[in-house]
Amino acid sequence: MKKIVAISGALSTLFFLIHLIVACIYYAGIMPYGYIHMTIGGILSIVMSVHMLSAIFLMVKNRQRDKQAKQYPQLNMGTVIQSATGIFTGIFLLVHILVIELSKRIDGTVFNIIYVSAEFLFLLTVGLHMAISVPKLFISMGVIKKRENYPLFIRGTYVFLALVLVMYMGSQIMFWAA
């Protein structure tokens, strides 16, 4: 089950970044919204769903094994944040899809502000989740082998995700302001 969570998490990360790049290209006016965006988003939704369901199953299984959650106390806070942001990611994924569908039917400044706000919260939640889970993923994959490299990798992950957030939100704000 851990392998399914790790592989689906890696694939979710990859498809999420591809989806963001395609969205930025759309918001920049270089490419119209089309099937490539919907296909990547659909694949991402499926992979994320597999990741979420398998992670929830694994979390419940681990909780039953260690009812007090004292096995790894130094990881508990990160795990709690990772679990909470994972759950909110699922909720915001549904909101994201709903807002995109509504944007095809509703127009106006108030809705545009709601749209951008919902997208910002979704991206922020996914970013927080990835900020915790990506370094753990790289440890499980054997990319990070030395303990002293872990804090540096975490900082690099934070900077990368912050740049992605700024790039995406900037392109979206420019699109809706035009």
pLDDT in tens, 86-121: 889 989 989 988 988 888 888 888 888 888 888 889
DSSP 31: S
pLDDT value for 72: 54
The H-assigned helical ranges of the chain are 2-27, 35-65, 73-103, 109-140, 149-177
- The pLDDT confidence band at residue 144, using thresholds 50, 70 and 90, is confident
| Dihedral sign from CA coordinates of 129, 132, 133, 134 | positive
Q: Give CA–CA dist 116/37, Å, rounded.
A: 18
Q: Give CA–CA dist 20/128, Å, rounded.
A: 16
Percent of the chain's residues with pLDDT above 90 = 10
pLDDT value for 61: 81
The residues spanned by each domain of the chain are: 2-177
Give the CA distances from residue 76 to residues 40, 68, 80, 81, in Å, rounded to whole numbers and listed in that order: 33, 11, 6, 9
pLDDT digits (tens, 9 = 90+) for 45-93: 899 999 989 988 887 887 777 666 555 555 567 777 888 898 899 899 8
Q: Report the chain's mean pLDDT, rounded to a whole number.
A: 84
pTM exceeding 0.75: yes
DSSP 67: T
On whether the CB atoms of residues 19 and 44 are closer than 8 A, the answer is yes
- Angular region, 130: left φ>0, alpha ψ -120 to 50, beta rest: alpha
Q: Give CA–CA dist 41/23, Å, rounded.
A: 10
- Per-residue tokens: 130: 């990835």
